[in-house]
Structure 1
Amino acid sequence: MTTSVSGPDVRPDLSRSPRSSAVAEEVGRAAVRVVGLGTHLGATLDWATRMGRIVPLPGHGRTWERWSALATAAAHDVGAARVLEPHLDALAILAEARASGELEDDALAPLGADEESAWGVYAAEGAEPLRARRDADDRWTLTGTKTWCSLARDLSHALVTAWVDATTRRLFAVSLRDPSVTAHPGPWVARGLRGIVSAPVDFVETPAIAVGGDEWYLHRPGFAWGGIGVAAVWWGGVLPVLDAVRSAAAREKADQIAFMLLGDADTAVWAARTVLGDAAQRIDHEDAGDPRLLAERVRAVVASSVEHVLTIADQALGPAPLTTDEAYARRTADLRLYVRQHHAHRDLVRIGRRVVGG
């Protein structure tokens, strides 16, 4: 049996969310109009930059609107949401920096950044650190290689962490179109998120604008909120998979096993939705406690739920949709790779240490 989740009729059942979101509905309507959403990179980037103008920042009573918009994008196409999420995260970081006085309103003008810019966020650390140097005129440059830079050959700008000395990191804005920047085409042999290449980028005395002070990027509350936004994408991405399991259980000849698998999958999705809704309310009411612990708990629950539903779907649907339904096969491959941003047992160890530390 083939259970399709493809085509422009995909309507993620976000009635299962804590509350509806007009922004999410607009994101969904815009997604339907994009030809090649998630597969045509140019069209998807244009859509993402447009959505960046309407999706609200986290906090101030609108966190769930933001996360439901990300989930809606992922329900339409996981790859498209993978493009949208870091762009929205970068805009939130810049807004947070401006609001806290860490960045002047016109500070990015020398980089040619404007509302048409398409942003990435590169904070992974490789074997060799990316170095930042400040000259006598208080101008910063970056030199070295940054790993895991998604879409660096296609984006216009990025926020990049770099080391100012042996123990201190700062965040910098750069133009990826500066001639001093070389984005590698690979290696990228992934079967999931095949068009979202994440490869190294070389910087050679690249002009940069500091965003925040020493360690500001990692210690601000918004760092945790961005991590939960990724979990919202995972949740939205698995909703059509749950719908496929539901369709299988609704067949006339469905047996008790089909109902059991659906119940198991539905419960897992409910758990993911519930922790996301609870976290959004805590953020909006400034009752999040330890932001890092909240984010790690939410990500752990959502990642576990998504992985569990993917396994259930394999059992409930068999090999047919994985071998004959392009959209379904691509969705599950994309999700399996994307959810690996959660580091499984290592992240659980970090939660345990935080809990013991009080």
Structure 2
Amino acid sequence: MRNAAGTGSSAHRYENGQNTSPATRALLREIESGGLDIPLPGSGDTWLRWQTLIRLGIEDLSLARLAEGHVDALAILAELGDPPPSRSAVWGVWAAHPPGYRLRARPLDTGWVLEGSKPFCSGARTCTRALVSAEPDSGERLLFTIENKHTIADPGTWAAAGMSDSETCTVDFRNVRAVRVGAPNAYTDRPGFHHGGAGVAACWYGGALAVAEPLAAKARRQGTDPHTLAHFGAVVRDLRCAEDVLRRAAREIDEDPDDAEGRAAERALLVRSAVVSSCTSVLQHCAEALGAGPLASDPAYTRAAQDLSVYIRQHHGDRDLARLGESAAHEHGRDRS
């Protein structure tokens, strides 16, 4: 079984008590214990890989987000043929490109430097290294590795209570040294870009399982009312549908890791859309069945619901559904021709 390289024995140590949120401490324990030594996507054990993300999503979605970034970075480096990274590093992938921000890559005789701002950088104060996308003046998009020593994270750029421990914020780069990885656009052109995108849904599914647990406990009690049981039945339906979609996707990725059939992008859109739909329904049914009580008295449920509500916004809703519809319509038309 091929595993992601670079995780293992000696995780980064933090000074002066900084970066000691529960999610950060749990991430370091996972790295040190080998819990993130998991198969690469398409290696024949993609479901085993995703089971780790599901387990962490059940425990804490901020932890799952940090772990997903770490193992995704290792998979990217392996796919692009970069040398195995240090086993002491904690990795992130910072590749968002929303309007209004630009991270400029400027070439030097001895390499590159990055200048500008990058939003939505998870693990901004935890990661010791990161894969970062940036643009030179020529306009193409490049991928770089950096040591996260001289960046400036602004925690004030994340206002939500949900996913607050994921340290997702805007990061400023001021002449940060960088090493280029791969060819232009290699990050998004590789099959693993879509395999990794589908894998994020495994984190969401784990979060939905955590949200559903108080309702499951209530449903197991003798004499539970039909109203509660109906809501729980809907939740069971949603969770099983999500798991089935993930299992099928993992199997298909292992059968075609290099995307010879050209279905990886559509598959990722389908998986993410289906799992988000299930998560949204789980949140709604649990809220209606449980009422305000758990929100006031159960911190674990409240946190899980807040985190999941925020995390699934990484899915782009109707825009992604439109892309899925376009892809499926094109494929259907080709099948009939």
Bin the TM-score by the shorter chain.
0.7 to 0.9
Residue of structure 2 aligned with 1:122, choices 88, 94, 99: 94
CA 1:41 to 1:277, structure 2 compared with 1: closer, same or farther past 3 Å?
closer
The counterpart of 1:201, out of the listed 149, 163, 171, is 171
- Which deviates more, 329-338 or 52-61? 52-61
Q: Establish whether residue 86 from structure 1 lines up as the match of residue 86 from structure 2.
A: no
Question: Percent identity between the aligned chains?
Answer: 38
For 1:167-182, list aligned pairs within 5 A: 167-177=139-149, 179=150, 181-182=151-152
Partner Cα distance (1:42, 1:71) in 2: 17
SS of the equivalent of 1:114 reads: coil
Post-superposition offset of 1:43: 1.4
Q: Is residue 273 of structure 1 aligned with residue 246 of structure 2? A: no
Q: What amino acid maps onto 1:243 in structure 2?
A: E
TM-score by length of 1: 0.81
Q: Provide Cα deviations, 1:245-270, integer angstroms capped at 9, x if missing partner.
A: 22222222312222211111111111
Superposition pairs for residues 1-358 of structure 1, below 5 Å? 39-50=21-32, 51=34, 53-98=36-81, 103=82, 105=83, 114-126=86-98, 127-137=100-110, 139-177=111-149, 179=150, 181-286=151-256, 289=261, 290-358=263-331
Displacement after TM superposition at 1:54 (Å): 1.8
- SS of the counterpart of 1:301? helix
The code of the aligned residue for 1:356 comes to A
Secondary structure of 2:157's counterpart equals: coil
Find the aligned partners of 1:304 and 1:291 in 2 and give their Cα distance: 20
Asked if the contact 2:63–2:166 (Cα under 8 Å) also holds between the matched residues in 1, the reply is no
Determine the C-alpha separation between the residues in 1 that align with 2:140 and 2:327: 23
Query: Where does the alignment leave 5 or more consecutive residues of structure 2 unmatched?
Result: 4-19, 332-337
Deviation at 1:49, TM superposition (A): 2.5
Distance 1:260 1:45 in 2: 37
Deviations 1:57-83 (A, max 9, x none): 111211000001100111122221122
**How far 1:55 moved relative to its partner?**
1.5
- 1:166 and 1:253 map into 2 onto residues whose CA distance is 68
Query: Which amino acid in structure 2 is aligned with residue 66 of structure 1?
Result: R
Match of 2:17 in 1: none
TM-score, structure 2 length as denominator? 0.86
Q: Kindly tell me the number of residue pairs found equivalent between the two proteins.
A: 308
Q: Deviations over 1:71-128 (max 9, x none)?
A: 0111122221122111111111111112xxxx3x27xxxxxx6211111111111413
The whole-number CA distance in structure 2 between the counterparts of 1:166 and 1:349 is 30
Deviation at 1:343, TM superposition (A): 1.3
Rounded to whole Å, the distance in 2 between the matches of 1:65 and 1:155 is: 24
Shift of 1:166: 4.9
Per-residue Cα deviation, 1:305-327 (whole angstroms, up to 9, x for no partner)? 01101110011111111110111
Query: What's the CA shift string for 1:216-255, capped at 9, x where partnerless?
Result: 0001011011111110011111113333222222222312
Q: What is the alpha-carbon distance in structure 1 between the residues aligned to residue 64 and residue 38 of structure 2?
A: 13
* SS, match of residue 114 in structure 2: strand
Aligned-residue Cα RMSD (Å) equals 1.9
* Secondary structure, aligned partner of 2:215: helix
Assess, with a 3 A threshold, how the Cα gap between structure 1 residues 54 and 210 changes in structure 2: closer, same or farther: same
Compared with structure 1, are the counterparts of its residues 253 and 347 closer, same or farther at alpha carbon in structure 2 (3 Å cutoff)?
A: same
Paired AA for residue 51 in structure 2: S
Q: Which runs of 4+ in 1 moved over 4 A?
A: none
